[in-house]
A and B are shown apart, each in its own frame.
Chain A
Amino acid sequence: MTWHVQPELLARYIGGNIDEAQAFSVEAHLPSCAQCRGAVAELADGARLTSTWEGIEERLDVPRRGPVEAGLVALGVPGHIARLLGATPALRLSWLLACALVLAFAVFAATRREHGLYWFLVLAPLLPLAGIALAYGPQVDAAYEVGLAAPMRSFSLLLIRAVAILATTTMLVAVAALALPGLHASAAAWLVPSLGLTLASLALATRTSALVACGSLAFLWVLVAGAGWRLAREPLLVFGAGGQVVCALVAALAALVLVHNADSFERRGDMT
């Protein structure tokens, strides 16, 4: 002999006005009783069923965020921006670990060598530059071509990624700088050159690929820093007040060029 859920109890179950124990009892019964399942199907509100089903699909289908994406969301970055950044090679965990290792090596070298601070200051602006090179373009972004045809402007995508890269590498370098021997304000002298180089690389990327732009500027930076030391016999000359002003001017000029040529990122199928 079998039993069936009373109509009054079934109505409360469908309306959601039922306590947990009774709901459990109904749900334990339904899989084995076609008649009661039929009654539920007849009485249930279609819209509510659809929304419940969508909720289940949302839980099942939507994958967990990766560590970079999850970290960004925890910091308050909107979910969709975090996903855009999660697809950026220069923001993957492996890249961030590589940056941390390079910085640890630079700090270690700074503690062992004369003019160690010089080497640290020359190296630090190269990290965001390398990050920008790996942030955007057909060589590093697998979905570049599809992205070009999407309504979100490529320039906006590049800027979002560049800001995230600049922020993360700045944090890493700042933490590394704290470990330098005899911490001094000059340990922050890389910040303006870094901003200048990053903006200059983006401005140059309006005319060529990000990889070429960043590679050329990295070479130029090492050349200028080395020449400054060799000619003036003063390793930190490039990082002095004059150098900072020049870098700030380069940053301002590059920002103007970048804004003026923003549309050049939009139909770059020739570069793929």
Chain B
Amino acid sequence: MSHTTIAMSDLRKRYGANDVVAGLNLSIGPGVTGLLGPNGAGKTTLMRMIATVLAPTAGSLRLLGLDPADPEERTELRRRLGYMPQEPGFHRQFTAFEFVDYIAILKEMTDTSARHREVRRVLEMVGLGDVAGRRIRKLSGGMRRRIALAQALLGDPQLLVLDEPTAALDPEQRMRFREMASALGDGRIVLLSTHQTEDVAALCQRVVVLREGDVAFDGTPAGLSALAKDRVWISDTRDARAQLWWRTSEGRHRHVGDPPPGAPIVEPTIEDGYLLLAGPAAAFEEVAA
């Protein structure tokens, strides 16, 4: 088995009678892999199992060739892991520097000057070098999110697990994140979950769509777009036969589904492919996001 992969076989996580992750078989190698799916599809549960904070109910999971169920191997794995949770918490009385420094200590960086150098490096990477000394309670939501990202980058980890890293970022910050994540994907495994199909299109080499705890799609972003080939059309009025539709900024109606004969077919986007696959619930989340 490769030492540079995430490998899972029949991986399950059950809460009560509900299989939140229902027997996943996946192998993920270096590069940026995006995880898409509607709320409740099992994305965060899967990310947390890969981040070693949650034990699977059944199945096998190996990360970088190590077994997270074994205490020694798990510790070794955590030395090579960076994790940004979906809802990162902060000690709000700390400054940005102090908080990242605190996490660096948990990451076994005990040499003070080397640790401080590393804290400065990751804060610079996420563009927070200038506010390092500011209390977290005084920072905006986007800045806090970037602090959470900075701590995940400590120690230059081989495996980066980022749960909705672009939530709360403004468009410029999102662009900067995409540049950084693309660079990080060289030689490392970067797994990110998101509701933003544009992020996946812009930076992921591979995309996995989860639905009800199982893989609904596994391929390239272009492959996901291609699912909606010849199934997207635009018209001036709403077509009730469409599986999904929404009003565009030009006031026209974009439809996804089985087009009527002669309908003006347009080029599909990754969002069309995703919505076709994930259904109306995902369409609502896309609008909300």
Measuring CB to CB, which residues of chain A are less than 8 angstroms from any residue of chain B?
A: 54, 57-58, 60-63, 66, 78-80, 83-84, 87, 141-153, 157, 263, 266-270
- Complex interface: chain A residues within 8 A of B97 (CB): 61-63
Are B88 and A61 interface neighbours, CB within 8 A?
Answer: no
Complex: A146 Cα to B106 Cα, angstroms: 9
Complex: A147 Cα to B81 Cα, angstroms: 12
- Complex interface: chain B residues within 8 A of A62 (CB): 97, 116
Select which of A80, A144, A152 is within 8 A of B89 by beta carbon. Answer: A144
Known: A151-B79, A151-B108, A152-B106. A142 touches B92 (CB 8 A): yes
Complex: A58 Cα to B51 Cα, angstroms: 32
Are A87 and B102 interface neighbours, CB within 8 A?
Answer: yes
- Complex interface: chain A residues within 8 A of B89 (CB): 141-146
Number of residues on chain B facing chain A (CB within 8 A): 46
Select which of A57, A80, A84, A266 is within 8 A of B112 by beta carbon. Answer: A80
**Closest chain A residue to B97, Cβ basis:** A61
12 A-B pairs besides A142-B91, A151-B78 with CB distance below 8 A are A80-B105, A84-B102, A142-B89, A146-B106, A146-B148, A150-B106, A151-B107, A153-B75, A263-B71, A267-B53, A269-B48, A269-B54
Measuring CB to CB, which residues of chain B are less than 8 angstroms from any residue of chain A?
A: 48, 51-55, 68, 71, 74-76, 78-79, 81, 83, 85, 87-95, 97-99, 101-103, 105-108, 110, 112-113, 115-117, 120, 132-133, 148, 151
Are B52 and A143 interface neighbours, CB within 8 A?
Answer: no
Are B94 and A87 interface neighbours, CB within 8 A?
Answer: yes
Are A143 and B55 interface neighbours, CB within 8 A?
Answer: no
- Complex interface: chain A residues within 8 A of B98 (CB): 63, 83
**Closest chain A residue to B56, Cβ basis:** A267
Are B105 and A152 interface neighbours, CB within 8 A?
Answer: yes
Complex: A78 Cα to B83 Cα, angstroms: 27
Select which of A58, A60, A267 is within 8 A of B54 by beta carbon. Answer: A267
**Closest chain B residue to A154, Cβ basis:** B106
- The 8 A-B pairs at the shortest CB distance, nearest first, are namely A142-B89, A269-B54, A150-B106, A269-B53, A151-B78, A149-B83, A148-B53, A267-B55
- Complex interface: chain B residues within 8 A of A153 (CB): 75
Complex: A16 Cα to B40 Cα, angstroms: 64
- Complex interface: chain A residues within 8 A of B52 (CB): 148-149, 266-267
